[in-house]
Structure 1
Amino acid sequence: MNSLRGIDLNLLVVLEALFAERHISRAALRLQLSQPAVSHSLARLRQLLDDPLLVRGQGGLVLTPRAHELTAPLAEALAQVRILLGPGGFQPSMARRTFRLAMSDYGALVVLPRLLRAVRKAAPNIDLVVTQASRETMTAQVADGELDMALGAFTYQPEGVRTAVLFDDDFACAVDAATVRDTGRLDHVAYLARSHVLVSAASERGELIDATVARLGGRRKIACTVPHWSVAPALIAGTNMVLTAARRTLAALEDPRLTIFEAPFSIPGFSYSMIWPERAEADPGHTWLRERVLQAAATPASEAEAAISLRG
């Protein structure tokens, strides 16, 4: 077993940067060190841990299996050390840290812009690394410590994971404005007579919409299926197709070609939440970030409703 007396804590900070960047030059830039200094630290870490840690792969450096095992414990250990050695309160303007988040393009559209502006303004040296995965994968990665946080419509909370509801959302419709000049909307008969765009990444929500339509004795004709919410609105412009999507997604659109209106029937809504590892609960930096997420997501539902009524 290695003696703690022979370990330089700064090596762990270098290892954290290397795991995040997977590139020696970028890690050096992040740490404000020279590239030779980071290379020397990596050599010491390899000797200390008896593992190459990062090896050449397609597209650059990749983590070894041992490095993957160390990612979560390293993040947790450094978070606790920062609590122990840091000032009494978290100082965002002085903090240097990377947070790993996951969310779909829905979250990237309705939450991330406000969040990033708030973080950059108060803490310019805090970086956000945002990825996307299924809800099941995001939940597992949070539980395992691979992610600091994930945003989504989560249906269960495993042991060791904390959750907070950010807001509730429901559904509205968007069409090309030129196709509803007289009414500004569609009734359920006209709705079912048109073709529709389906977002496959939100297949469960699509199934919810179709189940509601089926109870009315109808069926949607899906003319185009796409993997992302963000591309769907552009597809309906210049066509007679209908997009039925989360209200906040549509409220964020700024396309004068489109008219947004209430769905012609009631569709059950959903809750959008933030999840994080329970072990990060007392981390002042993580607490600060959670507060920023709550603020970024705090657009009142009335604002989204107003955006739709004004543009419809």
Structure 2
Amino acid sequence: MHDMNTLRGVDLNLLVVLDALLAERHVSRTASRLNMSQPAVSHALGRLRHLFDDPLLIRRDGQLVASARAIEIIPALTEALRQVRAVLGPEGFDPAKERRTFRLAMSDYGSAVILPDLMRMLRDVAPGIDLVMTQSSREAMLRQVLDGDCDLALGVFPVLPEGVETAQLFTESFACLVDRGSLGGRDRLDMDSYLARPHVLVAMKDEPSAEIDAALHAIGRARRLAVILPHWGNAPRLIHGTDLVLTVARKALALYEHDPALAVFEPPFAIPSFPFVQGWHERRRADSAHLWLRNAIARVSMSV
């Protein structure tokens, strides 16, 4: 209640800046988000620090982190802005006029599946929205969301830290890719033939393909990995003219479903399907442009 009373005495525009600063943890990104100049945001931060008699954001290891006082303010700030928006109605948002850069973290699988349709939509209805893509491990992507270094993380996240919200985009399953000529007239591999062959694994350094090998381990089997790659993009190219087997998320193989030189088929053992989600920091929940982008991604995901 004390924080709510304090916030009621602060200029509404300053509250909006504070909300964006605590979400972005970066002066220039806050300026871009609010269509303000960087000096104006820095001046507003100075006024906020004076009003609250607290630094609010502290530089640590090259990044801005919220002070203990700022963390205490967040719930009351969120509620105060929610009440204002409830009275004034939703913020006006025109995607055709929006000028903003969003930072998305995802693997090259996510980029291949989501990005083409998303970019066509953005160029058609929101040409002023730009995207910057990054790729790292699941844990690192979620850390970027929490630190304000990215707006959205898309992928498979079995464990979520506090403060990250998610929405499922689709359910994915696995499929196998082999050179069709190596099948000897068959259309797939049985279990023994599958395990007799060398395999291609796509995995980040600290992120083994747990789903596939855990399913094999559960039935007392194991496969030989002939090559491990950090990126999906080159993996299918290794299959032509070899006896290698690639087992990956099925949507990643859409381009090869009708390739006469390659065969796509279901794995000869059960591998649990998994949800592909987008995740964001809870502080961005009410950001109208951010919400619009999340909804746009959800729409294009329905057709992949």
TM-score normalized with structure 2 length: 0.66
- Partners of 1:227 and 1:87 in 2: how far apart? 43
Paired residue type of 2:214: L
Is 1:187 matched with 2:193? no
Equivalent residues of 2:106, 2:141 under 8 A apart = no
**Counterpart selection for 2:249 from 246, 265, 270:** 246
**Counterpart selection for 1:293 from 290, 294, 297:** 297
Is 1:234 matched with 2:237? yes
Matched with 2:117 is 114
Q: How does 1:86-97 map to 2 (within 5 A)?
A: 88-97=91-100
Tell me the alpha carbon deviations over residues 131-177 of structure 1, each in whole angstroms, 9 at most, x when there is no partner: 133335425633x3332111111112332221111111111111112
Is 1:198 matched with 2:204? no
Question: What's the offset of the Cα at 1:113?
Answer: 1.6
Q: 1:114 to 1:157 in 2, by over 3 A?
A: same
**Counterpart selection for 1:158 from 156, 161, 170:** 161
- Partners of 1:141 and 1:153 in 2: how far apart? 14
Q: How does 1:16-35 map to 2 (within 5 A)?
A: none
- Partners of 2:283 and 2:222 in 1: how far apart? 47
- Partners of 1:126 and 1:246 in 2: how far apart? 29
Paired residue type of 2:259: P
- Partners of 2:208 and 2:88 in 1: how far apart? 44
Computed over aligned residues only, the root mean square deviation of the Cα atoms, in angstroms, reads 5.0
TM-score normalized with structure 1 length: 0.65
Question: What's the offset of the Cα at 1:120?
Answer: 2.0
- Partners of 1:167 and 1:133 in 2: how far apart? 20
Tell me the alpha carbon deviations over residues 242-273 of structure 1, each in whole angstroms, 9 at most, x when there is no partner: 11111111124477254333334333334334
Question: What's the offset of the Cα at 1:227?
Answer: 1.1
Matched with 2:23 is none
Q: Which secondary structure does the structure 2 equivalent of 1:111 belong to? A: helix
- Partners of 1:299 and 1:260 in 2: how far apart? 23
Q: Which secondary structure does the structure 2 equivalent of 1:146 belong to? A: coil
Is 1:266 matched with 2:248? no
Q: Which secondary structure does the structure 2 equivalent of 1:159 belong to? A: coil
Paired residue type of 1:211: H
Question: What's the offset of the Cα at 1:208?
Answer: 2.7
- Partners of 2:138 and 2:105 in 1: how far apart? 9
- Partners of 1:111 and 1:84 in 2: how far apart? 36
Q: 1:196 to 1:176 in 2, by over 3 A?
A: same
Question: What's the offset of the Cα at 1:225?
Answer: 1.3
Matched with 2:71 is none
90-99 vs 254-263, which deviates more?
254-263
Any runs of at least 4 consecutive aligned residues in structure 1 with deviations exceeding 4 A, and if so which? 82-88
Matched with 1:56 is none
Q: 1:164 to 1:229 in 2, by over 3 A?
A: same
Number of aligned pairs? 293
Paired residue type of 1:108: S
Question: What's the offset of the Cα at 1:231?
Answer: 1.2
**Counterpart selection for 2:152 from 146, 149, 152:** 149
